[in-house]
A and B are shown apart, each in its own frame.
Chain A
Amino acid sequence: DQQVKQNSPSLSVQEGRISILNCDYTNSMFDYFLWYKKYPAEGPTFLISISSIKDKNEDGRFTVFLNKSAKHLSLHIVPSQPGDSAVYFCAAVDGGYQKVTFGTGTKLQVIP
């Protein structure tokens, strides 16, 4: 049972435009959410996070939105750059702050 889902395996965006990556979850006990970026042959790198008490968090070009009622979060990258081309994972942390559940990932390609 996949508790964290990223339904789009891939996404292509033109350089300079907005990239929107989506993530849905089913477990209402998740209390904290994170996004990671992963390049080939490297470990994931932390990007941005959001607590369930917030609905938006910004960090430079990256903004994460959380809709608790819909159990949906999204990552917006504006403007997209070729260096953003990577696999993006969303992750959710349970209320005990011990177990982390990752989504299956979305491969973003930013076309110059």
Chain B
Amino acid sequence: NAGVTQTPKFQVLKTGQSMTLQCAQDMNHEYMSWYRQDPGMGLRLIHYSVGAGITDQGEVPNGYNVSRSTTEDFPLRLLSAAPSQTSVYFCASSYSRGGLSGAFFGQGTRLTVV
């Protein structure tokens, strides 16, 4: 029972490079979301999806794209990495909208942009 799997766990990018953070869940959850965690800021919602084919913006969506072609996968794309995107990124999934039943989080991806 894998839960929510994020890859990679660590990544260093150069400014201007693009990359995709992968997120997969095996619990058949409809609701998935991406957060970034920065010191003193808590977790901030980047994008979320309420089901395959449906995505929407969260609090800090600029510089990120998402798509949801299957229930299982919810990749986060950085289009042109900037040092301000240095952060720890968490993917989460939940059975209910908004995570009312409690969301399951991945272990995180620590991204450094130099």
Asked whether A and B interact, the reply is yes
Say whether A100 contacts B99, CB under 8 Å. Answer: yes
Residues of B in contact, count (CB < 8 Å):
29
Say whether A97 contacts B96, CB under 8 Å. Answer: yes
**Closest residue of A by beta carbon distance from B58:** A99
Residues of A in contact, count (CB < 8 Å):
26
**Closest residue of B by beta carbon distance from A32:** B100
- The interface bits of chain A over 98-112 (1 if a CB of B lies within 8 angstroms of the residue's CB, else 0) are 111111110000000
- The interface bits of chain A over 65-79 (1 if a CB of B lies within 8 angstroms of the residue's CB, else 0) are 000000000000000
Q: How far is the CA of A88 from the CA of B35 in the complex (A)?
A: 16
Q: Is B113 an interface residue (CB 8 A)?
A: no
Say whether B105 contacts A45, CB under 8 Å. Answer: yes
Q: What are the 3 A-B residue pairs with the smallest beta carbon separation, nearest first?
A: A46-B102, A43-B105, A97-B98
User: Which residues of A are interface residues toward B (Cβ below 8 A)?
Assistant: 4, 6, 32, 34, 41-47, 49, 89, 91, 93-94, 96-105
